[in-house]
């Protein structure tokens, strides 16, 4: 007897919402997991829960207990640990897995590249005024901070512990235009941008604005997808793949 298809959608990206919307209007059953509460998007169109597996064995149990037949991994581009766990669990369980990742930006000089937030932080000179778009969870990687001030973008105020003395939150949610980003950088009088290469056009204006203003731009490379995994570039491609299973 063939199992009824049931999709696990790993969410955390804008594309995950597009996939969820498409699945909610299809004959495919789906559920989603997220690492954290999303502050820039509305609720997903399929049942979801905040949960992160602590390893492949736990994920394999989750897949079996929930009757999952395929995994569409549309998690945040920098949640590589979850992707590695999910791909391994899918492979060991004999289930199809695909990683949905929008195309990364091409980074050319004068923009600089770093492999991690910690490496980018080590590149910041004494006295620098830095705007960081790397997420609230990365703040510890900037310590000890050698610059003068770190402005950290956050979607909105939360209940986490206060930022360290060298940092100041800048609240706001996407989308942003290049002009809006340039005006913000000028108002804050920053000389350096640190951001992650999340890819896609909606997140690109901050980098373009920084380069246009002549600011130093340090871009953190996105982790690669699990080795050998099927990779999809758009939500449409992901939905087509799921429908073809």
Residue 158 has pLDDT above 70, yes or no: no
Output the average pLDDT for the chain. Answer: 95
pTM of this structure: 0.92
Q: Could you tell me which residues come within 8 angstroms of residue 202 by beta carbon, excluding any fewer than 6 positions away?
A: 14, 174, 175
| pLDDT bucket at 40, cuts 50 / 70 / 90 | low
CATH topology of domain 6-101+225-244: Rossmann fold (3.40.50)
- CATH match of 112-220 with 3.30.1450.10: no
What does DSSP say about strands 29-34 and 6-10: parallel, antiparallel, or unpaired? parallel
Element (H, E) at 59: helix 56-65
Please tell me the predicted confidence (pLDDT) of residue 1: 36
The answer to whether 6-101+225-244 and 112-220 have equal CATH topology is yes
Residue 27 has pLDDT above 50, yes or no: yes
Nearest to 93 by CA among 122, 60, 70: 60
Nearest to 71 by CA among 55, 51, 85: 85
Residue 110 has pLDDT above 70, yes or no: yes
Q: Could you tell me which residues come within 8 angstroms of residue 24 by beta carbon, excluding any fewer than 6 positions away?
A: 30, 45, 46
Least confidently predicted of 5-19, 40-54, 97-111: 40-54
Residue 111 has pLDDT above 50, yes or no: yes
Please tell me the predicted confidence (pLDDT) of residue 175: 83
Q: Where are the domains of the chain?
A: 6-101+225-244, 112-220
């Amino acid at each position: 007897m063939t199992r009824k298809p049931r999709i696990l959608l790993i969410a955390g990206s804008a594309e995950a919402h597009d996939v969820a919307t498409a699945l909610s209007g299809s004959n495919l059953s789906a559920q989603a997991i997220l690492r954290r509460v999303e502050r820039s998007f509305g609720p997903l169109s399929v049942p979801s829960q905040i949960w992160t597996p602590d390893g492949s064995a736990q994920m394999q149990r989750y897949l079996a207990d929930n009757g999952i037949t395929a995994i569409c991994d549309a998690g945040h581009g920098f949640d590589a640990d979850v992707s590695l766990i999910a791909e391994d669990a899918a492979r060991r369980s004999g289930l199809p897995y695909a990683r949905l990742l929008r195309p990364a930006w091409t980074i050319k000089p004068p923009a600089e590249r770093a492999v991690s937030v910690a490496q980018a932080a080590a590149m910041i000179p004494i006295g620098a005024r830095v705007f960081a778009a790397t997420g609230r969870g990365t703040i510890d990687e900037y310590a000890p901070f050698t610059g003068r001030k770190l402005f950290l973008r956050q979607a909105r105020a939360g209940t986490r512990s206060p930022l360290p003395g060298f940092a100041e939150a800048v609240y706001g949610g996407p989308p942003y235009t290049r002009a809006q980003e340039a005006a913000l950088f000028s108002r804050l009088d920053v000389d350096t941008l640190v951001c992650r290469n999340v890819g896609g056009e909606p997140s690109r204006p901050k980098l373009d604005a920084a380069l246009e203003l002549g600011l130093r731009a340090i871009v953190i490379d996105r982790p690669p997808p699990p080795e050998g995994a099927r990779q999809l570039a758009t939500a449409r491609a992901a939905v087509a793949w799921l429908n073809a299973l």
